[in-house]
Each structure stands twice: as C-alpha cells, then as structure tokens.
Structure 1
Amino acid sequence: MNKFWIVLAHTYFTKLKSKSFMITTIITALLVLGLTNLNHIIELFSDEETKTVAVIDKTGELYEPLEEQLKTDGEKDIDLRMFKGAEDKAKEKVQNGEWQAYVVLGYDDKQLPKAAYYAMTVADSDTPLQLEQALQQIKTTLATAKIGLSTEQVKELYEPVVFEKVALEKNAKTEEELNQARLLVYILLFAIYIFVFMYGTMIVMEVATEKSSRIMEILISSASPVQQMFGKIFGVALLSLTQFSILFVIGYTSIKENGELTAILGFEQIPVATIAYAIVFFLLGYFLYATLFALLGSLVSRIEEVQQMITPVNLLVIAAFFIAMFGLNNPEVPFITVTSFIPFFAPMIMFLRVGMLNVPMWEIALSIGLLVATISFFAYFGAKVYRGGVLMYGKSTSFKDIKKALQLTKK
C-alpha cells in the first residue's frame, strides 16, 4: 500500500511543479477573470466620445421630434446638429472628420418619415440603429394620429400580452429559476467536459511516455502495475481537483465582486445540493473515463499512437457534452431521461436533470449506482489489462491488443 501512495505523491507533485501546469493554471485563471469581468473590460476600451450627426431636415418638421425622442430613449452619445446647407457641404464635413455622419430626413408618398444615413463606413451599427429606432417611434406616432388613435390607445395597442407560465408540479422551478439554473448548469457541464478530457488524456500520455522511454520496466520492479495504475489515476485526480479549486475560487470571487453578473447568474441563491451533485458527478465522471484512459494508455508503446487509441473514448465524452447541450432546452424529453442512466453519459446528463428538474431520489441513486458499478468493473478489468499491457511493446494496431495484454497477465 505504501508503494501506491508513493506513486500517487510522485505523480501529483511532479505534475504540480511542472511548468506546463503552472502556465496552464495562470492562463486559465486569467481567462476566467477576463470572462467574469467582460462587461468592465468592454467599458474600459469602449469609445465614449459623443458622435456628432448632422441633420438635413427637408420637411422642416422632423428634427425637433427626433431630438426629443433620442432624449426620451436616453441616448446620450449622439449629438444632433441641424444643418441647413447643401448636401455637398455636409459630405465634405463628414469626409474631413468634423462629423461622424449626416442624415437626410423627408416624407415618403404616404407623408410618413423616411431617412438616409451617410457616413464614411457603415461598420458602426449602433448609431444608425439608434436613429432608426427613434424615427420609427415618430413614424408610429404620426401613423396612429392619421387614423385617429389617441396616445392611450396607442400604448394599449403595443402593450405586451399577459402570458403567465404556471408549473403545476409541486416545488417546480419558476421560469426565472430555470434560466438561472440553465446558465449555472452550462458552466459546470463545460467544466466537467474540459477537465475530464484534459486530465484523462494526461493519464494516457503519462503511461505512454514512461513506456516509450523504457522507464516502465524499472517501475514494475519497484511497484506492481495495479498500484501504478491507481496511483496515477488518483494522483492526476488530486491534481485536477487542485487546479479546479484554484479556478473555482478565482471565478467565484470575481463573480461575487461583479454585482451585475451575480444577479444574472443567481449566485446568491445557488442550492447547496447543486454544488454537491456537481462535485459527485465530476468525480465519478473523471474516475470512469480515467480508468478507460489508463487501460488504453497501457496498450500503446509510442506517444504517436495515443490519439488513435483514445479517439473512441474522446467521442463518448464529446457525445455526452452535445447531448447535454441539447438537454438544456429540453430536459424532460425521454431521450434525455434514458441517457441519464447510461454510465458514459450520466455524469453530464443526470447532473443536467438534477440541476434543472425535481428528479426523484431513486433515479439519482440508480444513476450513481450504475456509475459506481461501471467504474468498479473497468477498474477491475482495466487493472488486469494494465498489468499485461505495460509489458507490451511494438506498434499498437487495434483493441485486439487487449486480448494479448490479458494473456500476458496470466503468465
């Protein structure tokens, strides 16, 4: 048992002190900080200068209503200026950079407002959009006045229809709670996907590197292959939890400091059960795929063969992720319910259902039980394959090598 802890500690501290781990953690932490403070970053680099837009009002009636409507809409970054000169002169001022753009106002054949917006480029969509929306309000007012509708009648006409959504199920989540849960589940699903993918591959590379350098022959004489296998799995698991904890603390602290994002995500009301299930399914998902990756890693002799061998497992992880993405909008469909009990998909799909629905406890227990049973099977079977696989050298061509590894185990 002491040799198991030695392998675990060696795997953990070697990876923890590696430059790649430190660089990856720092870069990911910066990305997390950037994403959680994206609104502040955009404000920091946004151009807050007031944009001067000249108005040539051919009607003599629309300039003042347009200016008033922009003020009503709260648009403060557009400075409207009445211009009574020729359009050629206005064009020169835009080309010289004195004005951002100029607008020509007029009436169409129905005596309703129309406009033409002139600028050096139309890459800036905000300014013309704000002007268009303001002019649309004026057009609506004039059109309704023509048919004799009062202001109150217009407001009543455009008032949104009352449409309530009432859940009859006891303790069912409200629409607001579902939207918050959907976003939280998406973030945690993405974290599970990335970490299972990244650290599962790390186990394969670890074993393949040792085999390709012939270090495995020395290691076998000091510790049994089974001890090596589980030592590496738990060592990398501890490493992943270390990195995940660092990133979670940074991300959570940053979100808490960002009041707007906290309100959107609903981080002040995260159920403790959701966090607990996230940890449980994260660990179970990791150990399931880790045993598979370790098994496959023992069959390859060169690093170049790793990608080909682990592709089927990678496809399972990708499939689980995409099914989960589909389930975010349809968590109650039978397909999602069924896949939540399939061990390879359960870490993501059952967690998705738990986060968004009131899932019966027996379903959660059954899913976790099937996961634990599958992990136990692959741990037992993987240990047998690993014991013989680490002694196999030469090109690994297919999964038929598992049979060869089992035969070597019996010797």
Structure 2
Amino acid sequence: MNKFWIVFSHTFMSKIKAKSFIITTALFLAFIIIMSNIQSIMDIFDQEEVDQVAVVTETDSFYESLDNSLQAAESDIEIVRYNGTLEKAQEQVIDGEYSAVLEITEQEQLPAAVYYTADMSSTSIESTLNQALEQIKTEIATNKAGLDPGTIATIYEPMSFEKEPIVAEGEEGSVKTEEELSGARGLVYVILFLLYFAVIAYGNMIATDIANEKTSRVMEILISSSSPVSQMFAKILGIGSVGLVQMLLYLGVGYIVIQQKQEELVGGFFEFFGLSETSASTFVYAIVFFLLGYFLYATLSAMLGSLVSRTEDVQQLMTPVILLIVVAFMISIFGLSNPSSQFVTIASYIPFFSPMAMFLRVGMLNIPFWEVGLSIAILIITIVILAIVGARVYRGGVLMYGTSTSLKDFKKALQLSKKD
C-alpha cells in the first residue's frame, strides 16, 4: 500500500507542478473571466461610437415614425434626416461620416427601403432598421384597412399552448414537472461535457505518462517493485485527482463570477443554470456516473498506453477510446430530445455508453431503480474485468519496446505478463 501512495503522490505532484498544467489552467481561467465580462469589455471600445445612419426620404411621416420607433426601443442607432442627394450621402459613408444610408420611398402609401453600406458583412444595423420599418408598414396597412390596433395585436399574440402530463392513478408525484426537466437537462449538459472533456484530456494524459516512463526505462524498475494493478490505479487516481483540482478551479471561478453578477443573473447560480428544481438524487447520480465513466475509460487508456513505447504512437492507439466517447456523446445529445427512445435505452446498458446514456435517462425520466442499479452493476463489473485484463496487459506491455501501433500487441503483452 505504501508503494501505491508513492506512485500516486509522484504522479499527482509531477502533473500539478508541470508548466503545461499551470499555463493551460491559467489560460482557461482567464478565458472564463473574459467571457463572463465580454459585454463590459465590448462596451469599453464601443462607448465612443454612435452608429449614425443618413436617411434620404421625401415622406416626413416615414422618417418621424422610424425615429420614434428607434427611440422607443432605446436603440443605439441614430438616424439623421439627409437633405442632399443620395450619391452625396454615399460618398460621406465612404469617408466615414455615416455608418450607412437608408433610402425610404413610398409605394402604394407603404414604405419601401434600400439600405446602402460600405460594410456588407455587418448586419446588426440593417436588421434593426428593417424590423422597425416592418412595424411601421404593419401599422399603416392596418389603418388603411380600418382594423383596430387591438384586433391586430390579438391576431399576432402567440396562442396559449401548454403541456400537462397524464398521470396514472396512484402515481401522483412520480412524473417530473417542466421545471424539473429543465433543471435536469441543464445538469445533463454539464456532466456530458465534463465527462467528454475528462476522458479525452486525462485519458490521453494517462497513456502519455506511461509511454514517457517506458521511454526513460524507469518502468522496468517500477513494475518489479510494485504490483501492476497497484501501479496502474495509482496513476489513474493521481491523474484523476489532478483533473479534479482543475475542474474545481474552473467551477470555483465560474461560481465567483456568477455570484458577482447577481443583478444580471436573476435567481442566482443554480437558477441561472436551470438547476434550482433538480432533485438531490440527480446530483448523486451525476457524481456516480461521472466517476464510473472516468474509471472505465481511464483503465482502458492505461492499458493501451502500456502497449506503446513512444509518445508519438499514443494518439493512434487512443483513437478507439476517443471514438467510443464521441459515439456515447452523440447518443446522449440525440437523447436529450427523446430520452425514452429504445435506442437510448439499449445504449444505457452498454458499458462504454452507459455513463452518459443512463445518466441522461435518470435525469430526464422516472425509471425504476433496478434499471439504474443494473446499469451501475454492469459498469462496475466491466471496470473490474478491464482492471484484471488491463493489469496483465499492463505488466507485459510496459516491457514491450519498439514500434507498437496495433491492437494485435495485446496478445504479445499477455504472453509477456506470464513470464516472471
């Protein structure tokens, strides 16, 4: 047990102190802070700028209605009645005096417009003006038709359409409400992306770390002084702890940033992410399936990493693992809109997909506990089998040197593990 903690502490400390870990973590934390304040940063650069649009029109009512509409909407666009020619106004746009030119004409007593700009890639001003003119056109058309504005508002008002669950007798309270589903959906999103990120990032880290030790030949000493299972899980837990520290830093900074923006994010941290109505059991399942999913893929990564002796070969052998997690991720994303489909149900019992698929079903549906228990049992059994097989492959694989980029090397590694 003492040797396990030696390998664990060495793996953990070496990764925590690595410059790549520190730089990557710092950059991502800076990214979180910058993105949470992106609007304030943009306002610093835009506070001096006012979008002035020259309006060329012979109809005073159109200009006045457009100006009133923009002011009522508190738009940042400022329109200026231009008394010169259209060509002259276009020249001033090129010179930078105006952002654009809007020509408004009258067609059958209704407004028609042409928007002239030197920057065709920007559409924000165009969209705002177009929407305002559409409203003006609707008001004029309804007045011509003699329709009451209240009648028009009723026509365009969205129809009341609500969704209510059908609950069988004796099952009251077993069906999740819309608020609970929204909260569960938010938590599922978070766990899906965290598990996807953890498997790809830390799985590669485990495999690369083992390959690096083989390159330095220190592995031959380690494997003779401690059991392969102990050494393999010491590395898995060591790198997993590094990942946990990193994720806690991300979540902690994110929480602090959101807490500082309580006025903008009404309801606080959990309501912002749609988690205020999520049950405690869903959070427990999130932790359970995240940990089981990590151990499953980490064990597989450690086994594959022991087969290669060069870090350049790690990515090639890790491709099957990455493909598995990508497929699991895509199944779960599909299942967010249809969690009760038979396809998702079957996938929730397949070990390499169940950490995501079964958690999706647990979060979105009320399923019997035995189904969740069965999925967890299958996952644990699979992890144990991978640990047993992986330990043998690990013991033989770490003694293999030379080019090794094929899964056929499993057989060779198993043969070497039988030799003392």
Shorter-chain TM-score above 0.5: yes
Contact 1:350 1:364 in 2 (8 A): yes
Q: Secondary structure at the match of 1:342?
A: coil
Q: Give distance in 2, aligned partners of 1:48 and 1:268.
A: 40
Asked whether the 8 Å contact 1:73–1:134 carries over to 2, the reply is no
Query: What is the identity, as a one-letter code, of the residue corresponding to 1:230?
Result: F
1:251-296 deviations in Å (ceiling 9; x for gaps): 2222233334545423555543333222211111111011111111
- Alignment partner of 1:294 is 2:302: yes
Structure 1 CA distance for aligned equivalents of residues 344 and 164 of structure 2? 23
Question: Which residue pairs with 1:184 in the alignment?
Answer: 187
Please give the alpha-carbon distance, in whole angstroms, between the structure 2 residues aligned to 1:141 and 1:236.
64
Following superposition, the deviation at residue 47 of structure 1 comes to 4.9
Amino acid at match of 1:403: K
Alignment of 1:314-353 (within 5 A): 314-353=322-361
- 1:153 aligned residue (119, 141, 151): 151
Structure 1 unmatched runs, 5+? none
1:381 equivalent in alignment to 2:372: no
How far did residue 49 of structure 1 move?
A: 2.9
Partner of 1:122: 120
Cα distance change on mapping 1:33 and 1:173 into 2, 3 Å: farther
Contact persistence 1:144–1:154 (CA under 8 A): yes
The answer to whether the 8 A contact 1:54-1:103 is kept is yes
Aligned length: 409
Provide TM-score, normalisation by structure 1.
0.92
Cα displacement string for residues 21-63 of structure 1 (whole angstroms, at most 9, x for unaligned residues)? 2112212222233344444444444456332222222234312
Q: Distance in 1 between matches of 2:275 and 2:40?
A: 19
The one of 245, 250, 253 equivalent to 1:247 is 250
Deviations 1:221-269 (A, max 9, x none): 3223332212211211222212222222112222233334545423555
Q: Does the aligned pair in 1 maintain the 2:55–2:79 contact within 8 Å?
A: yes
1:305 aligns with 2:306: no
State the alpha-carbon separation in 2 of the partners of residues 172 and 44 from structure 1: 48
Report Cα offsets for 1:37-94 as digits up to 9, x if no partner.
444444444456332222222234312122222223332x122222333323323433
| Other-structure match for 1:97 | 96
Distance 1:95 1:385 in 2: 70
TM-score, normalised via structure 2 length: 0.90
1:217 pairs, out of 217, 220, 227, with: 220
Q: Aligned AA for 1:85?
A: G
Which residue identity does 1:129 align to in structure 2?
Answer: S
The letter for the 2-side match of 1:368 is I
**1:190 shift after superposition:** 0.8
Once the two structures are overlaid, the 10-residue window that deviates more, 288-297 or 274-283, is: 274-283
CA gap of 1:179–1:35, structure 2 versus 1, over 3 A, is farther
Match of 2:229 in 1: 226
CA distance in 1, matches of 2:363, 2:42: 31
Question: What amino acid maps onto 1:392 in structure 2?
Answer: M
Corresponding residue number in structure 1 for 2:401: 393
Change (3 A) 1:143 1:234: same
User: Aligned partners of 2:361, 2:254: CA distance in 1, in Å?
Assistant: 24
Amino acid at match of 2:104: L
1:307-359 deviation per Cα after TM superposition (whole angstroms, max 9, x unaligned): 22221111101111111221222222211121111110111122222233333
Which residue identity is paired with 2:105?
G
Match of residue 26 from structure 1 = 26
1:133 is matched with which residue? 131
Alignment check: 8 A CA contact 1:180 1:264 kept: no
Counterpart residue type for residue 333 of structure 1: S
Displacement, 1:131? 1.3
Matched, 1:365 2:373: yes
The amino acid across from 1:119 in the alignment is: T
Structure 2 gaps, min length 5: 168-172
SS in 1 for 2:61: coil
The farther-off stretch of 285-294 and 40-49 is 40-49
CA distance in 1, matches of 2:13, 2:384: 26
Give the Cα–Cα distance (whole angstroms) in 2 for the partners of residues 386 and 291 of structure 1: 10
Rounded to whole Å, the distance in 2 between the matches of 1:39 and 1:337 is: 42
2:118 and 2:217 map into 1 onto residues whose CA distance is 66
- The alpha carbon displacement at 1:137 in A equals 0.8
Instruction: Say if 2:308 and 2:404, in contact at 8 Å, map to a contact too.
Output: yes
Aligned pair in 2 of structure 1 residues 96, 208: CA closer, same or farther (>3 Å)? Answer: closer
Letter of the 1:369 counterpart: A
- Measure the CA separation in 1 of the matches of 2:33 and 2:275: 16
Distance 1:209-1:363 versus aligned 2 partners, 3 A rule: same
Calculate the aligned-residue CA RMSD, in Å: 2.2
1:83 partner letter = Y
Which is further off, 33-42 or 231-240? 33-42
Between the aligned partners of 2:382 and 2:341, the Cα distance in structure 1 is 25
Shift of 1:384: 1.7
8 Å Cα contact 2:392-2:417 kept in structure 1:
yes
Q: How far does residue 171 in structure 1 lie from its aligned partner after superposition?
A: 4.5
**C-alpha contact 1:300 1:393 (8 A) present in aligned 2:** yes
After superposition, give the CA deviation of every residue in 1:364-386 in whole Å (9 maximum; x if it has no partner): 22111111111011111111221
**Counterparts of 1:274 and 1:35, CA distance in 2:** 29
Change (3 A) 1:224 1:286: same
Q: Percent identity?
A: 51
Distance 1:73 1:176, change over 3 A: farther
Amino acid at match of 2:224: S
* Pairwise CA distance, 1:149: 0.9
Contact residue 7 and residue 231 of structure 2 kept, 8 A: yes
Distance 1:171 1:254 in 2: 36
CA distance in 1, matches of 2:234, 2:331: 32
